[in-house]
């Protein structure tokens, strides 16, 4: 690493999606300067070859700035679509019947192909089918192995290959398509830090992705299906992180049910110690406007008050007219919320009880001690990142500085609340640990002479999951004079 970067003043992370408006090295650096902490690459758009220079640009920025970079590859997942029409589109009339079948013949106003065997297998009378992001609603009145007859509850114009949502069914299909498996393999080869899995319906959906990843990157579950809500705790237990994918949730569920579900997902992830991202339509109007609506500002603020680890921009930064301004706006909203004196109390509305382990007990104690002695930071040494996740779950009032000898760990921690990760050599003794802790908080301008820092580590050093040391370090004026900026 070439230089020390001062930590962000805010603790919530900003995840920016890269796309046509923001894929050049210059734009990626400008997004970082505006406040982006991590970058999302959407595998739904473009080919794999087009992603390589983007990933290389992010890693080049990492080297230039001396700060670990975080890359999330978001898999497309299965896309359910109707077939084509003889005239390109038809009008569905409310109250009329409409048939979905397995016949590939172009459709008309009475029927169309539905090329998904699994939907016929899972169909039940009374189930809803949502077309074109919920603009039209069908209700199943009879079904068989190759045909479903529906009644049109909400009509409209339906054109070729429009999307279909089935909120009332758990489909017997894998979350990974052949495209996803190829994209996942590509993402692992490119050493991305997180892989987001779409279309998660049940905890079993995560198992194949886990096996294909082989421990080489972290797995994030996108919660976008009503069936996933029914087994939320089990799904969160099986993944490394969670995304509240509000777009599809808002299609498959009534819009008014999404805000309480967002709070429930955030609370569940926090309680179980998994980083959680709130995503979709956060500053939607900034795709075409240089300023957001007041409602969007309030929406972003709510996610910050709820204690989400990260807030995400999609089309705003990927394809919009104002990508830099969108990131800067999200950064400024988060910064303003965290400066609110009430922010700390609101973040702790979610009770995160420690597990009965030494590591969890020390994480909770580190937060409490830092508050009691007015420490400038909590500093932890970690190999796997588990100590950092435990401390971040407590949402301490001070920055969490994480020192790790594994660059992979440092990069993954870029989605974790309040964490400033530093890739550095490991320590071999208690004395070296204390000396290095002092050097690092000075080097990264986190503390000054007279300040205190709470240090967490595990002895013997370099053993994952062995956190068993908690120490309060005081910085003296002599140490400040002797500091030479090295590791």
Cα–Cα distance between 19 and 24 in angstroms, integer?
9
Options 8, 59, 79, 81, the catalytic residue: 81
440 close to 424: Cβ distance less than 8 angstroms: yes
Dihedral sign of CA atoms 418, 423, 424, 426 in order: positive
- Residue 313 bridge partners (DSSP): 16
CB neighbourhood size of 428 (10 A): 11
CA distance 338 to 12: 9
Query: Of 111, 222, 270, 438, which is the active-site residue?
Result: 222
Active site residue 211: no
| 40 in active site | yes
Half-sphere exposure at residue 230, Cβ-oriented, CA atoms within 13 angstroms:
10
- Distance from chain centroid for Cα 430: 35
- The one catalytic residue among 10, 11, 13, 40: 40
Contact (Cβ atoms closer than 8 angstroms) between residue 236 and residue 221: yes
In three-state secondary structure terms, 372 is: helix
First to last CA, the chain: 10
- 386-393 and 358-372 helices cross at what angle (nearest 10)? 50
Q: Where are the alpha helices (DSSP H) in 306-347?
A: 315-318, 323-339, 343-347
Nearest to 242 by CA among 255, 260, 261, 256: 261
Cis peptide before 382 (omega within 30 of 0): no
Q: Which of 70, 150, 217, 280 is catalytic?
A: 280
Backbone torsions φ then ψ of 61, nearest 5 degrees: -65, -40
Q: Give the bridge partners for 379, in sequence order.
A: 401, 455
CA angle at residue 235 from 140 to 121, to 5 degrees? 25
CB count in 10 Å sphere of residue 458: 22
What residues are annotated to the active site? Answer: 40, 81, 222, 280
């Amino acid at each position: 690493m070439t230089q020390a970067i001062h930590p962000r003043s805010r603790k919530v992370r900003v995840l920016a999606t890269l796309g046509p408006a923001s894929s050049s090295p210059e734009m990626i650096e400008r997004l970082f300067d505006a406040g982006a902490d991590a970058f999302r690459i959407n595998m739904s758009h473009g080919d794999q070859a087009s992603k390589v220079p983007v990933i290389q640009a992010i890693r080049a920025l990492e080297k230039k700035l001396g700060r670990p970079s975080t890359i999330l590859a978001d898999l497309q997942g299965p896309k359910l679509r109707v077939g084509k029409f003889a005239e390109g589109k038809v009008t569905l009339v409310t109250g009329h019947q409409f048939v979905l079948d397995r016949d590939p013949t172009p459709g008309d106003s009475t029927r169309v192909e539905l090329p998904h065997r699994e939907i016929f297998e899972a169909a039940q009378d009374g189930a809803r089918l949502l077309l074109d992001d919920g603009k039209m609603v069908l209700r199943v009145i009879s079904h068989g192995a190759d045909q479903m007859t529906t009644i049109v509850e909400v009509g409209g114009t339906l054109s070729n290959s429009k999307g279909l949502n089935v909120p009332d069914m758990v489909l017997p299909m894998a979350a990974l398509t052949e495209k996803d498996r190829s994209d996942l393999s590509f993402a692992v080869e490119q050493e991305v830090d997180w892989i987001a899995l779409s279309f998660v319906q049940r905890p079993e959906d995560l198992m194949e992705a886990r096996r294909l990843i082989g421990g080489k990157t972290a797995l994030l579950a996108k919660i976008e299906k009503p069936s996933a809500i029914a087994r939320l705790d089990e799904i969160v237990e099986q993944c490394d992180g969670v995304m509240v994918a509000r777009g599809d949730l808002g299609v498959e569920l009534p819009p008014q049910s999404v805000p309480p579900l967002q709070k429930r997902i955030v609370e569940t992830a926090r309680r179980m110690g998994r980083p959680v991202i709130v995503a979709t339509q956060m500053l939607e109007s900034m795709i075409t406007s240089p300023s957001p609506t007041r409602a969007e500002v309030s929406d972003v603020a709510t996610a910050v008050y709820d204690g989400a680890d990260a807030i995400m921009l999609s089309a705003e930064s990927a394809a919009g007219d104002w990508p830099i301004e969108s990131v800067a706006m999200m950064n400024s909203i988060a910064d303003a919320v965290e400066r609110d004196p009430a922010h700390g109390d609101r973040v702790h509305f979610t009770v995160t009880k420690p597990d009965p382990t030494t590591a969890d007990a020390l994480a909770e104690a580190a937060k409490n001690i830092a508050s009691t002695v007015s420490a400038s930071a909590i500093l932890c040494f970690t190999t796997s990142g588990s100590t950092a996740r435990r401390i971040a779950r407590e949402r301490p009032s001070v920055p969490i500085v994480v020192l790790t000898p594994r660059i992979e760990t440092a990069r993954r921690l870029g989605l974790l609340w309040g964490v400033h990760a530093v890739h550095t050599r490991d320590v071999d003794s208690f004395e070296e640990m204390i000396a290095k802790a002092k050097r690092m908080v000075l080097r990264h301008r986190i503390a000054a002479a007279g300040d205190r820092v709470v240090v967490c580590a595990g002895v013997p050093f370099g053993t994952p999951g062995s956190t068993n040391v908690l120490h309060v370090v005081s910085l003296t004026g002599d140490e400040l004079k002797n500091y030479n900026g090295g590791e």
